Amino acid sequence: MTESALSTFLAAVRPDAAATVIAVDQAVQRVAQLDTAIKWGKLTYAANGDFHHWICATSVSKRLVSLTFHFGGLLPDPPAAFREGSSTFLRMLDFTTPDSVDTEVLARTVSAALAGLDYFTANWKAISAGERPPR
């Protein structure tokens, strides 16, 4: 039996972050059974094995567990929960404890990302060039 991506990821992160990583993983997987792999040092989630157009990825820093959305800049953020990343697309939700994981916001955001995946996949080059193709 091979080790799961989650187990492999947990073995490499600070121990006090493990419960928060597990809470984030469970919340993501409740929305959709996504494929997981360690990509770019992060626990990465993708639909149908398409890690080129990944949905989101979990990372751990000294203080936070972050869930980064690949095309989060195109997603709605009604509670203003996102932290902007260094690119046009990346947006993060940050967590400090398992209790800080807002499963409703996380579920809405993962659902919106899955709903917008085909649009993003078809238009990411134009969007990254500054164009906004019609929806």
pLDDT for res 54? 95
Question: Looking at the domain assignment, is residue 134 inside a domain?
Answer: no
Question: Looking at the domain assignment, is residue 10 inside a domain?
Answer: yes
pLDDT for res 135? 60
Question: Looking at the domain assignment, is residue 118 inside a domain?
Answer: yes
pLDDT tens, residue order, the chain (135 aa)? 346 999 999 999 999 999 999 999 999 999 999 999 999 999 999 999 999 999 999 999 999 999 999 998 889 887 888 998 777 789 999 999 999 999 999 999 999 999 999 998 888 788 777 776 666
Q: How many structural domains comprise the chain?
A: 1
Q: 14 by DSSP, 3-state: which?
A: coil
Which domain range does residue 121 map to?
A: 5-128
pLDDT for res 59? 97
pLDDT for res 80? 87
Question: Looking at the domain assignment, is residue 35 inside a domain?
Answer: yes
Question: Looking at the domain assignment, is residue 133 inside a domain?
Answer: no
pLDDT for res 17? 97
pLDDT for res 2? 45
pLDDT for res 128? 77
Q: The domain that contains 124 carries what CATH number?
A: 3.90.1150.200
Question: Cβ of 54: how many Cβ atoms within 10 Å?
Answer: 23
Positions of E strands within 64-105: 65-69, 83-84, 91-95
DSSP type of residue 47? S
pLDDT for res 134? 61
